[in-house]
Amino acid sequence: MPASREVVFVDGVRTPFGKSGPKGLYAETRADDLVVRVIRELMRRNPAIPPQRVDEVAIAATTQIGDQGLTIGRSAAVLAGLPKSVPGYAIDRMCAGAMTAVTNVAGGISFGAYDLAIAGGVEHMGRHPMGEGVDPNPRFLSERLVDGSALIMGMTAENLHDRYPSITKERADAYAVASQEKAAKAYADGRIQRDLVPTATRKAAEGWGLATVDEPPRPGTTLEGLRTLKTPFRAHGRVTAGNAAGLNDGATGCVVAAEEVAAELGLTPRMRLVSYAFAGVDPEVMGIGPIPSTERALRLAGLTIDDIGLFEINEAFAVQVLAFLEHFGIADDDPRVNPWGGAIAFGHPLASSGVRLMTQLSRHFADHPDVRYGITTMCVGMGMGGTVIWENLA
Catalytic sites, residue numbers:
95, 348, 379
Q: How far is CA 354 from CA 43, 71, 234, in A?
A: 20, 19, 29
Rounded to whole angstroms, the Cα distance separating 52 from 351 reads 26
Which segments of 243-392 does DSSP mark as H helices, in order?
Answer: 259-265, 290-301, 318-328, 343-346, 353-367
Element (H, E) at 371: none
C-alpha 132 chain-centroid distance: 20
Element (H, E) at 79: helix 72-79
- Strand, helix or coil for residue 132: coil
Q: How far is CA 145 from CA 131, 159, 367, in A?
A: 19, 16, 46
11, 270 Cβ separation under 8 angstroms: yes
Q: Residue 11: beta bridge partners?
A: 255
| Number of Cβ within a 10 Å radius of residue 16 | 25
C-alpha 312 chain-centroid distance: 10
Phi, psi of 336 (to 5 degrees): -75, -15
Rounded to whole angstroms, the Cα distance separating 117 from 217 reads 31
123, 129 Cβ separation under 8 angstroms: no
DSSP secondary structure code for residue 168 in this structure: -
295, 385 Cβ separation under 8 angstroms: no
230 CB burial (10 A radius; 0-12, 13-18, 19+) = exposed
Query: 383: closest CA among 289, 277, 245?
Result: 289
Angle at 187 between CA 186 and CA 188, to 5 degrees: 90
